[in-house]
Amino acid sequence: MKEAALRAYEAMVMARAFDTKASALYKAGKVFGGVFLGRGHEAIAACEAVFLRKGHDVYAPFIREQAGRCVWGDSVLESARTYFGSVEGCMRGRDGNVHWGHPLEGTPAPISHLGAMVAVVAGMMMAKRMQGVTDAVGVACCGDGTTSVGAFHEACNLIAVQKLPVVVVVSNNQFAYSTPNAEEFACDLQDRGRGYGMAAHACDGTDFMQTLEVMQRAIAAARRGEGPQWVVATTLRMCGHGEHDDSSYIPAELKAAYADRDPLAVARRQLLALGWLTEQQDADLLARSTDEVQRLVAQAQKEPPPDPATEDWHATPWRPWR
pLDDT in tens, 293-311: 999 999 999 988 888 888 7
Highest mean pLDDT among 100-104, 179-183, 221-225: 221-225
Question: pLDDT-based confidence at 105, cuts 50/70/90?
Answer: confident
Does the pLDDT value for residue 317 go beyond 70?
Answer: no
Question: pLDDT-based confidence at 321, cuts 50/70/90?
Answer: very low
Q: Residue 314's pLDDT is what?
A: 66
Question: pLDDT-based confidence at 315, cuts 50/70/90?
Answer: low
Question: Which has more confidence, 224 or 176?
Answer: 224
pTM: 0.90
Largest Cα–Cα distance of the chain, in whole Å? 58
Q: Interior CA angle at 41 toward 250 and 95, to 5°?
A: 100
* DSSP state for residue 305 in the 8-state scheme: P
Helix then strand then coil, in percent of the chain rounded to 5, is 50, 10, 40
Cis? peptide before 317, omega within 30° of 0: yes
What percentage of the chain exceeds 90 in pLDDT?
55
Q: Interior CA angle at 156 toward 187 and 72, to 5°?
A: 105
Q: Residue 229's pLDDT is what?
A: 97
Annotate 92-139 with DSSP letters as a single string: TTSS-TT---BGGGTBPPP-SSTTHHHHHHHHHHHHHHHTT--S--EE
Question: Which has more confidence, 179 or 270?
Answer: 270
d(CA 5, CA 255): 27
Question: pLDDT-based confidence at 319, cuts 50/70/90?
Answer: low
* DSSP state for residue 13 in the 8-state scheme: H
Question: Which has more confidence, 242 or 64?
Answer: 64
Does the pLDDT value for residue 106 go beyond 80?
Answer: yes
Torsion of CA 210, 214, 215, 218, to 10 degrees: 180
The tally of CA atoms less than 13 A away on the side-chain side of residue 156 is 27
Model confidence pLDDT, tens digit, residues 262-281: 999 999 999 999 999 999 99
Question: Which has more confidence, 89 or 120?
Answer: 120
Does the pLDDT value for residue 33 go beyond 90?
Answer: no
Q: Residue 93's pLDDT is what?
A: 78
Q: Residue 316's pLDDT is what?
A: 52
C-alpha distances in Å from residue 116, one per residue of 17, 49, 79, 315: 29, 20, 21, 20
Question: pLDDT-based confidence at 322, cuts 50/70/90?
Answer: very low
d(CA 88, CA 321): 8
